[in-house]
Chains A and B, each alone.
Chain A
């Protein structure tokens, strides 16, 4: 519990699950929410500062590192960093080539961005849960004169559904755009209404159309939803377990040592999960883009 004896376990967990929210208070002025109720009252007109900060910081870090390598990339013998970057690029490129059958120069860079960015975001989950929130609380208390209990700081953007939905939404928009572009309005509507049931009988076909539409529309919406919820759910659960393990440090020597052992074990296992989730997010994006390019689908 990081030395905070005034907090109960429930408060500790809630504190860790609350984003730093900057938004419009119901009375009209803008500012940081002091607790969960205030953040909730802000509604849609609010932004999670911690989520945005860490996702932009990590994305920029990824682009900075890769750009640096790209600037000096040569066909000669690659150095250590170039080798590493090339390994990732090659891996992503072969994934895209194996799955995506259309022609679109954006798909491979997008897959690379998703893979590395989501990996880095997930990687924040391996940070001990009190470190960065502790630093943020200290800064908030000493520089801005805030009550450290009211400084909320979530360091893993992928445990914020806004972040995962945001990415999935962008991917969804792209798939819709390319679906329209490839199939045209008629083809797109046809895909939604003429499958999976079809008949040569005109009357029967008319009956099938609304049924097909309901089925296909749900399937269409399920894509971005499942894409984002899968990542969010996995990371949120992982984070939750880290927080629960962290609670054990307040329970004396023996329980604390056992907690440390558990944290190590879970962190090692989590390395697999964060990589896997980044890979799944990338692969599903490629698959959805590929589906957008499938013009003559046979269900």
Chain B
């Protein structure tokens, strides 16, 4: 229990230990702790940000979906409209085609009539001449009257 040099020795030892702790032990430990604290808070912030972004993305996706649905129904409406237009057009086309065919047929019929009439005319002339020949067998000069009859046939 005597007070002696141990007192001073202990003070010096204490000072050296404190200095060593201050210089070599404390800073790396505290730095590691601070660094981890920072990393954790950054991680938490990132997680929160991620969650927020996910919410935004979900909202955006829902919007996109809604828009797509709207567009789809619009497209369907347009397609229906277009389809009915096409049907109308086809109807018009068919009608005009039918008209054209009718006109063509009528023209052909007319032509056929003309041809038949021409044919008849010639036959009438031949028949008339043959008839006249039979009637006027002897008195009539076929050549002399043929002209007259032809002129007559012309008037038909």
Chain A contacts to B: CB under 8 angstroms: 17, 19, 21, 23, 39-40, 42-48, 51-52, 55-56, 59, 62-63, 66-67, 69-71, 73-76, 78, 85-86, 89-90, 93, 105-106, 108-110, 112-113, 117, 157, 160-163, 165-167, 169-170, 173
Contact = CB atoms under 8 A, between A and B. Distances in A.
Given A17-B1, A160-B6, A166 B25 contact: no
B21 A112 contact: yes
A259 B100 CA distance: 133
B26 A167 contact: no
Nearest to A41: B2
A58 B46 CA distance: 45
Contacts of A89: 26, 29-30, 33
Contact of B7 (A42, A56, A78, A165): A165
A37 to B, nearest CB: 11
B156 interface: no
B5 A46 contact: yes
Interface of B: 1-11, 13-15, 17-18, 20-22, 24-33, 35-36, 38-39
A74 B36 CA distance: 8
Contacts of B7: 162, 165-166, 169
Nearest to B8: A166
Nearest to B22: A109
Contacts, number: 134
Given A47-B4, A165-B3, 18 more contacts: A17-B1, A48-B6, A55-B10, A67-B24, A69-B29, A70-B24, A73-B32, A74-B32, A75-B32, A75-B36, A89-B26, A106-B22, A110-B22, A117-B17, A162-B6, A165-B7, A169-B11, A170-B14
B29 A170 contact: no
Contact of A161 (B3, B14, B27): B3
Contacts of A117: 17
A109 B20 CA distance: 9
Contacts of A67: 24-25
B4 A44 contact: yes
B37 to A, nearest CB: 9
Contacts of B38: 75
A144 B15 CA distance: 33
Contacts of B18: 106, 109-110, 113, 170
21 contacts: A23-B4, A42-B2, A44-B3, A44-B4, A45-B5, A63-B20, A70-B29, A75-B32, A75-B39, A89-B26, A109-B22, A110-B21, A113-B18, A160-B1, A160-B6, A162-B3, A162-B6, A165-B10, A166-B11, A169-B7, A170-B14
A59 B13 contact: yes
Nearest to A71: B28
Nearest to A163: B10
Contact of B25 (A70, A75, A78, A163): A70
B3 A109 contact: no
A167 B11 contact: yes
Contact of A42 (B4, B11, B21, B30): B4
